[in-house]
Amino acid sequence: MTLERITIYPKDISRITGKSDRYGRMMITKIKLHFNKQAHQFVTIEEFCEYTGLKIEHVRQHVV
């Protein structure tokens, strides 16, 4: 049984978008604000996809 990761991190975002790690951190902050999350809460891949409009299948290919 393999577990798939459900959270996304700034490094994942930088890999997906081709932008810097700093951009990934900024994007995580914007997504948390959008979904009214607290600082200690994680951002899920589904929330990232909903926010960016990317397809979840494409994103999961890049999240290791």
Across residues 15-36, what is the average pLDDT? Answer: 97
Total structural domains in the chain?
1
Please report whether residue 4 resides in a domain: no
Please report whether residue 26 resides in a domain: yes
Burial class (CB in 10 A: 0-12, 13-18, 19+), 27: buried
pTM: 0.91
Please report whether residue 58 resides in a domain: yes
Q: Domain span at residue 29?
A: 10-62
Confidence of residue 18 (pLDDT cuts 50, 70, 90): very high
Please report whether residue 40 resides in a domain: yes
Residue 1 has pLDDT above 80, yes or no: no
Please report whether residue 2 resides in a domain: no
| Residue 39: HSE in the Cβ half-sphere, 13 Å Cα cutoff | 0
Please report whether residue 57 resides in a domain: yes
Please report whether residue 17 resides in a domain: yes
Please report whether residue 1 resides in a domain: no
